[in-house]
Chain A
Amino acid sequence: MTLTPQQHAAAAREAGHVAYQHCERCGARTAYLRVVCPVCGSTDLTFHHSAGRGVVYSTTTLHSREGARDVSLVDLDEGVRVMGTVVGVDPDAVRIGAAVQGRLDDGGDEPRVVFTLEADG
Chain B
Amino acid sequence: MADPLRAAVAIAGVGEAGIGIAPEGSTPLDLIGEATAVALDDAGLATTDVDALFTASAYYGMPNLNVGEYLGIRPRFSDSTNLGGASFLSHVGHAAAAIVSGLAEVALIVYGSTQRSDGGRLKSVAESFPDEQLYAPRYPVTQYALAAARHMHEFGTTREQLAAVAVAARDWGRLNPAAFARDPLTVDDVLSSRMLSAPLTVRDCCLVTDGAGALVVTSAERARGLRGAGGGAIFVLGFGEAHWHRSISQMPDLTVTAATDSGARAYAMAGVGPGDVDVLELYDAFTINPILFLEDLGFCGKGEGGPFVAEGRTSPGGTHPVNTNGGGLSYCHPGMYGIFTLIEATRQLRGEAGDRQVPGAEIALAHGNGAVLSAQSTVILGTDAAA
A112 to chain B, nearest CB (A): 4
Total contacting residues, chain A, CB less than 8 A: 28
Residues of A contacting B: mostly: strand
Q: Contact at B135–A83, with CB atoms within 8 Å?
A: yes
- From A31, A71, A96, give the contact of B131 (CB < 8 A): A31
The answer to whether A84 and B135 touch (CB under 8 A), given A71-B142, A96-B150, is yes
User: In the complex, which residues of chain A have a beta carbon less than 8 angstroms from the beta carbon of B145?
Assistant: 60, 62
- From B199, B200, B248, give the contact of A83 (CB < 8 A): B248
- In the complex, whether A61 has a CB less than 8 A from a CB of chain B is yes
- From A9, A30, A63, give the contact of B130 (CB < 8 A): A9
A80 to chain B, nearest CB (A): 9
Q: Contact at A63–B150, with CB atoms within 8 Å?
A: no
Q: Contact at A96–B247, with CB atoms within 8 Å?
A: no
User: In the complex, which residues of chain A have a beta carbon less than 8 angstroms from the beta carbon of B200?
Assistant: 60
The answer to whether A6 and B149 touch (CB under 8 A), given A62-B137, A73-B248, is no
Q: Contact at B131–A9, with CB atoms within 8 Å?
A: yes
- In the complex, whether A59 has a CB less than 8 A from a CB of chain B is yes
Q: Contact at B250–A32, with CB atoms within 8 Å?
A: yes
Of the listed stretches B93-101, B190-198, B327-335, B379-387, chain A binds B190-198
- In the complex, whether B126 has a CB less than 8 A from a CB of chain A is no
- From A13, A63, A73, give the contact of B197 (CB < 8 A): A63
- In the complex, whether B134 has a CB less than 8 A from a CB of chain A is yes
Q: Contact at B149–A83, with CB atoms within 8 Å?
A: no
Q: Contact at B146–A58, with CB atoms within 8 Å?
A: yes
User: In the complex, which residues of chain A have a beta carbon less than 8 angstroms from the beta carbon of B250?
Assistant: 30, 32, 81
- In the complex, whether B132 has a CB less than 8 A from a CB of chain A is yes
- From B136, B138, B249, give the contact of A32 (CB < 8 A): B249
- From B131, B132, B149, B249, give the contact of A60 (CB < 8 A): B149
User: In the complex, which residues of chain B have a beta carbon less than 8 angstroms from the beta carbon of A31?
Assistant: 131, 249
Q: How far is the CA of A62 from the CA of B197 in the complex (A)?
A: 4
- In the complex, whether A44 has a CB less than 8 A from a CB of chain B is no
Q: Contact at A63–B153, with CB atoms within 8 Å?
A: no
Q: Which of A9, A57, A82, A110 has the most chain B CB within a 10 Å cutoff?
A: A57
Which single residue of chain A is at the shortest CB-CB distance from B151? A58
Q: How far is the CA of A6 from the CA of B208 in the complex (A)?
A: 35
The answer to whether A82 and B197 touch (CB under 8 A), given A58-B146, A71-B137, is no
B200 to chain A, nearest CB (A): 8
Q: How far is the CA of A81 from the CA of B249 in the complex (A)?
A: 6
B149 to chain A, nearest CB (A): 5
- In the complex, whether A21 has a CB less than 8 A from a CB of chain B is no
- From A58, A63, A96, give the contact of B196 (CB < 8 A): A63
- From B146, B194, B249, B254, give the contact of A82 (CB < 8 A): B249
The answer to whether A58 and B135 touch (CB under 8 A), given A63-B195, A73-B248, A83-B249, is no
13 example contacts (A-B, Cβ-Cβ < 8 A) are as follows A9-B131, A32-B249, A32-B250, A60-B142, A60-B146, A61-B197, A71-B142, A71-B197, A72-B146, A81-B249, A83-B131, A85-B135, A96-B150
